[in-house]
Amino acid sequence: MAATISHLTDEKLLAEVLRPYKEHCKYLKSAVVTPGEQLTVRCEFGIPESCYIDDTGHLNSVEVNICYNQMMYYAVAASVQWGLIEQFESWTMGDYWKHQLPDILIARFAGSFRTPINPRHFEGQIDFLSVQRRAPGGGAPMLVATTAYQYWDADGGRCSGKATLAVLNLPD
């Protein structure tokens, strides 16, 4: 069995992935990408202050979703850059930047909080469980990705869930 090579945070790629976000909403700090039977990305996050509500003292569902988006966008960008997911092998980085916001959609998102997580410093992980090319009803082809995510902190805070992605308007 070949050794799995993890890709440490590519600071330039991370900055580009986070470029569309408001400065105070750039929560993803680092990401280690590990290919294998499934792509896994382990991340560090920090939310100094909520972007929309007074301090709740814990990570909330809105911030979980924003962090998921940033983690997922980095995972897909890294996959395109390093050729890690077969269905993205024909993509260029130009394709990724063109499709990042308008065509990579969360079709389903669910989560469960086990114990409160400190939003100031916590970790997370996304696993791409499957990525399939589909053409529903004979229409335009799309990619459907099934993912699982989890977050945790040093004090035992835990949250996990699943999300389904739809990637539309695939490049030729």
- Domain boundaries along the sequence of the chain: 11-167
State both tokens at 43.
Answer: 């991340």
- The tokens describing 32, both together, are 């280690």
Bridge partners of 120? none
pLDDT, tens digit (0-9, with 9 covering 90-100), for 16-50? 999 999 999 999 999 999 998 899 999 999 999 88
Size (the chain), residues: 172
11's tokens: 């600071």
Question: Cβ(21)–Cβ(70) under 8 Å?
Answer: yes
Calpha distance 37→32 (Å, rounded): 16
Which pLDDT score, from 0 to 100, does residue 52 have?
Answer: 81
Question: According to CATH, what is the number of the domain 11-167?
Answer: 3.10.129.30
Q: What is the pLDDT of residue 32?
A: 97
Residue 152, pLDDT above cutoff 60: yes
